[in-house]
Amino acid sequence: MLRWSVVPDVIPQTIATIDGQLVNPFTVKATDGVFRVDTIAHALSNLCRYNGHTERFYSVAEHCLLVQLVVDVRATGAGLTSEQRAMLSFEALVHDAVEAYLGDIPAPFKKMPEFAAYRQAEARLSSELRKWFGLAGDEPELVRQIDVEIRGTERHWLMPESRTLTEWTTAPILEWMECGTMTPQEAKHGWLTRFYDLRPDWRDGGSDKWQMNQG
């Protein structure tokens, strides 16, 4: 006779990661040594955007790579220095890093009162991740702008039946960009490659780099 038992949640508010870490978004600190570049890349590459409602798999990692690409194009056109472009590119690449731990919750639900605890966890964990990445202040406006604008292109390629929805018809479409072309493995490799291109000093030291830099 099969018997089912309920396992109690002995570690509430904690996320278990692929590398065996336990992350509590309400208490974790950048200096705790639990964040890992490879772990973030792994999770982002396995998360599908739009809750999976796409014609083919489209990972958060691929989304970050495309946002980074558009940001770099805009920054180049604005005549920014190579250092400024590199910083903006890095900001764009890691702008959804928090989703490696909290998932990609549909935006309309995040705004609901019932998701207040999630918003608190997201804000705090994002802040600690930014410290760990060595980023100061808030996310640049250009990154936020492109993150919203790219939705038109994503839905053009991946959600054609939804293109007539009123709130989406005004989003611009970048005809030169195609979405949903990477497998999870390709997206992870691409994300990691770009990360270390922009942060070559992190190749050795990895997850402890922030702590070493901060003493």
- Please choose, from the candidates 170, 180, 133, the residue with its C-alpha nearest in 3D space to the C-alpha of residue 149: 170
- Please choose, from the candidates 73, 17, 35, 29, the residue with its C-alpha nearest in 3D space to the C-alpha of residue 202: 35
Bigger pLDDT: 160 vs 132:
132
Q: For residue range 29-86, what is the model confidence (pLDDT) as tens digits? A: 999 999 999 999 999 999 999 999 999 999 999 999 999 999 999 999 999 999 999 9
Q: Are 162 and 155 in contact (CB under 8 A)?
A: yes
The CATH-assigned architecture of domain 35-201 is Orthogonal Bundle (1.10)
Q: For residue range 142-158, what is the model confidence (pLDDT) as tens digits? A: 999 999 999 889 988 99
* Cβ neighbours of 46 (radius 10 Å): 17
H-helix or E-strand spanning residue 15:
strand 15-16
Domain range list for the chain: 35-201
pTM recorded for the entire structure? 0.87
Cα 199 off chain centre by: 17
Q: Are 59 and 103 in contact (CB under 8 A)?
A: no
Among 30-44, 99-113, 162-176, name the one with the lowest average pLDDT. Answer: 162-176
